[in-house]
Structure 1
Amino acid sequence: MSKLAALEDLLVQYHQLNYHQDPVLKVRLFEAQYWLKQRIQESHQDLFRRSENQRMAQYFMNRLYGGPEFDDLSLQIERLLKYAHKAEKIIPANAIQTGLKSVQLAVLAMQLDEQVAVQLLKDYPADQTIDNEMMRLTLIKLDQEQTRLQQLDLLDELGGYLDKYMRSFMLHTAFKMCKAVASKYRFELMYDFIGEGFIAMKPMKSTAQFLQHFTAKERQIVYAVHAGQANPFCGE
């Protein structure tokens, strides 16, 4: 069985999302994700502004979180699956497993955020600007607490994989040698996606430690939302 079979399953889940066929929902989804990213930036500004963390913070927000950027990447993942037998000979198994974790997180984020967008459209006009209170009430109504906590657990697991498998000098060397192959099979976007991750990790002693700081505060916010606190998003 192909090591990339799980990746194909994740793409099926991704294509089953309703926003692909609903332009109104798509707009609301991306508006909700923009609000969520802005909230994350504000909640974690002390962590994100540290010089050694800045590149990883940008990579995390722009690449790993999901959103419009994942649409283009998903097309290259589909192309990769057509050449799965070749890819598995080139890409180390540990790198494949780490990549699966990243895609799993991106798809889960899209699934959860689409639920938020659907609920927002039910409760508010489609053109109403999203604010803290709208989002607070929406998250309480959806009761995503356990799934959001699972999302954070997956993020902690990804941090461990990144530190364990993606800091290898041999892996970096092999990755650089794959550039010509990536260009030949038109995987430039995916190559850049991984390459930016290597660059973002370089200044850091531990990606896992960075993500653990992030998930600890996010768990506080999840608990605060579902405890009914009036201003839960500060994460204090």
Structure 2
Amino acid sequence: MNEILDELARVAQERDARASDARLASRVLEIKHFQQARFRHTYADLLASTRFGPATHFFLDQLYGPQDFTERDHQFERVVPALVRLFPGEIVATVKALTRLHALSEELDGAMALALPRSTEAGALDAIDYVRAWQAVGRRTDREAQISLVREIGFALDRYTRMPMLFASLRMMRGPARVAGLSSLQHFLESGFDTFKSMHGAQVFLDLIGERESAMVAALFDPAPLAPGRHPALVQLP
């Protein structure tokens, strides 16, 4: 329980910093939109796939996008004891991974926003600025942890599709979850389950995510010259 609250406290700290600095908030949003565009670029083939498209959209919307998860975070903060008491232990473990990923991503996005050149006009973020900010922040271990957490959450959702009793229990939680103020979490879990169930096996999909994201991390940390078409990462960015 404390682990979830600790991660949410990290997210709240990032949110408070942006609330007191409009420019920082704007630059973080630019980072998030750029990353979402990069994801669409990197996974255009999966987004167009009948089999993998829904899962790719789920990841894009729930893990990579610029959406405001304040409501979901506040739900977690208010009812973590109820969450731990009401939901099966395996689902609680997935929620821990989700909050860890959320906190880590928010911290890295905030650090990158601070690393962007002050001279760059808002709304003018390009691939070279993005690579420079990425390299200035560093934290390669945390970048690799992000990939591991995404895969962990994906494999957990896939595993649930082969545990009908577990998902039956989750379906039964709709009423209590709504009363307890956990409707956003309930929606995330059910949407993830339905999406992964329709894929009929997530190994190939999650392996592709791992391979491409790991290649992207390696390219972004490459010290090659930052000139269009010359840095390894630039050809992979929108």
TM-score (norm 2): 0.87
| Alpha-carbon distance, 1:234 to partner | 4.1
Give the match for residue 139 of structure 2.
Answer: 144
Q: Does 1:39 align with 2:22?
A: no
Instruction: Give 1:194's aligned residue.
Output: 189
Distance 1:19 1:66, change over 3 A: farther
Task: Provide the rounded CA distance (Å) in 1 between the counterparts of 2:65 and 2:101.
Answer: 8
* Match runs of 1:66-105 below 5 Å: 67-81=66-80, 84=81, 86-105=82-101
Matches within 5 A, 1:174-185: 174-185=169-180
Letter in 2 for 1:47: L
Q: Equivalents in 1 of 2:231, 2:182: separation in Å? A: 46
Post-superposition shift, 1:169?
0.7
Rate the CA distance shift 1:234–1:201 in 2: closer, same or farther, 3 A: farther
**Residues 32 and 64, structure 2, Cα contact 8 Å, conserved in 1:** no
- Cα distance in 1, alignment partners of residues 153 and 178 from structure 2: 27
- The aligned residue for residue 108 of structure 1 is 104
Q: Distance in 2 between matches of 1:167 and 1:20?
A: 42
> Is the contact between residue 59 and residue 200 of structure 1 (CA under 8 Å) also seen in structure 2?
yes
**Structure 2 Cα separation of the partners of residues 174 and 20 of structure 1:** 39
Greater CA drift, 5-14 or 126-135 = 126-135
Q: Secondary structure at the match of 1:203?
A: helix
Matched, 1:49 2:48: yes
Decide which moves more: 137-146 or 172-181. 137-146
Aligned-pair distance for 1:158? 2.6
Aligned counterpart in structure 2 of residue 14 of structure 1, from 7, 11, 14:
11
Give the C-alpha shift of residue 155 in structure 1: 2.2
Residue 230 of structure 1: aligned partner: 231
SS of alignment partner, residue 230 of structure 1? coil
Spell out, residue by residue over 1:11-46, the C-alpha distance to the aligned partner (whole angstroms, 9 max, x if none): 111112122432221121011100011011101111
TM-score (norm. length: structure 1)? 0.87
Deviations 1:186-235 (A, max 9, x none): 32222212221112112113334312211211111221222225251445
Shift of 1:104: 1.1
Q: Which whole-Å CA distance do the structure 2 matches of 1:222 and 1:113 have between them?
A: 15
Aligned residue number for residue 210 of structure 1:
205
Alignment length (residue pairs)? 229
Q: Percentage identity across aligned positions?
A: 22
Structure 2: segments with no counterpart, 5+ residues: 225-229
Structure 2 CA distance for partners of 1:167 and 1:5, relative to 1, 3 Å: farther
Partner of 2:155: 160
User: Cα–Cα, structure 1 residues 167 and 23, in superposed 2: closer, same or farther, change >3 Å?
Assistant: farther
Task: Assess if the C-alpha contact under 8 Å between 2:160 and 2:193 holds in 1.
Answer: no
Alpha-carbon distance between aligned partners in 1 of 2:175 and 2:69, rounded to the nearest angstrom: 23
